[in-house]
Amino acid sequence: MKTILTGVKPTGVPHIGNYFGAIKPAIDSTNELRGAKSYLFIADYHALTTVKSAAEMNQYVREIACTWLACGLDIKKTVFYRQSDVPQIFELSTILTNVTPKGLMNRAHAYKAIVQAAIDRGVDPDVDVNMGLFTYPILMSADILAFDTDLVPVGRDQQQHVEITVDIAKAFNAVYGGSDDKKILTIPQPKIEKSVATIPGLDGRKMSKSYGNQIPLFANSNDLKKCIMRITTDSTAPTDPKPTDHPLFEMYKLFANPSEIEFMTNKFANGVGWGDVKTELFRVADRTITPMRERFEYYMNNYELVEKILADGAKSARKKATETLSRVRLAIGAL
Ligand code: ADP
Ligand code: TRP
């Protein structure tokens, strides 16, 4: 039976780009799994590199947990837990530091980008680097290896981290052995999601928190409408045909059903006012989001239910991680 595992960092209220680019594809793929074991966790200790306040961390974890449940994560099919509830991960991480060459960390893209940014500013290259950031890939390797993971569904930006995990697992197995068919650590593989569309933001660039052009996934209907009305358009006349590669049309396609899309395609070809397109986009977006928003609010207001779900998930995660750790501790002479 294959094991699939992925993690999400709690870093703020998700937007529509996160939903269509990451959350929905992950939930759809776990719902399609047959006979595989699936783990999904909130990587709160990874978020420590940037989130420096307890209140913020708690809020982000709550929001992300409620978001995944509201978006349809099926906890009967997926073990859902908070990373910090599984101390075995951190024990494994400490052990793995000893088979990880420093050079491997020096080559990690995220670290290199931060060093380069400092060099470009003419300051000490390490000024923005703490050891949590530097060793981030080791903690991520422990997340993955503690569960004998076979497949790690991630976006392209995380592919290198999974490749580093493979290198670390092989280095560990090379030192501590195990027979060829039963190595101590299971070698995982990245599963790069088929390229999901890049969802445009209000100004037509990629929707991103860093550009401030996002539509929050759970904005209330009024705010959602206001956001949609702010999407940039040009001043062509309502009677002019419109190009269907416009961000408004792309966003419409995410929410509308096939016959609505066909209808809108004709309108774009024959001329339509941007205001009408926005009104129609709001209608279909609100229709999709409202039930999810209601579930989100329900979970946020009844957070003890979510805590129970996460506690059950963590219990089952600890059981599995403890088994792996026993193998590892035996191998290194700590048992
Ligand atoms: P942001 O750019 O807003 O900070 P993150 O980098 O936290 O978003 O992204 C979290 C997940 O959501 C990633 O898997 C990322 O690929 C996906 N994602 C973010 N923005 C978009 C977008 N505009 N279109 C598609 N997927 C996106
Ligand atoms: N680093 C990932 C991100 O920034 C989150 C993450 C942490 C993760 N541990 C993981 C993803 C293990 C997959 C597997 O998105």
Reported as a single tens digit per residue, the pLDDT across 76-131 is 999 999 999 999 999 999 999 999 999 999 999 999 999 999 999 999 999 999 99
Of the candidates 64, 82, 83, the residue with the CA atom closest to the CA atom of residue 26 = 64
The secondary structure of residue 22, as a DSSP letter, is I
Q: Is 154 in the pocket of ligand 1 (CB under 6 A)?
A: no
Q: Does residue 137's CB lie within 6 angstroms of at least one atom of ligand 2?
A: no
Residue 63 confidence (pLDDT) above 70: yes
> What predicted TM-score, i.e. pTM, was given to this entire model?
0.92
DSSP β-bridge partners for residue 178:
183
Residue 9's closest CA among 143, 113, 126, 115? 143
Residue nearest to atom 13 of ligand 1 (CA): 22
Share of the chain above pLDDT 70, in %: 98
Ligand having the closest approach to the CA of 201: 1
Q: What is the pLDDT of residue 120?
A: 97
Banded model confidence at residue 31, pLDDT cuts 50, 70, 90: confident
> pLDDT at position 198, please?
85
Which are the contacts of 257, defined by CB distance < 8 A and separation ≥ 6? none
Task: List for the chain the helix, strand, coil content (%; round to 5).
Answer: 60, 10, 30
How many angstroms separate the Cα of 136 from the Cα of each of 4, 48, 320? 20, 10, 22
Q: Say if residue 12's pLDDT is above 90.
A: no
- The rounded Å distance from CA 256 to ligand 1 centre is 21
- 179 pLDDT above the threshold of 80: no
C-alpha of residue 80 to centroid of ligand 2, in Å: 14
Tell me the CA–centroid distance for residue 172 and ligand 1, in Å: 33
Residue type present at position 318: R
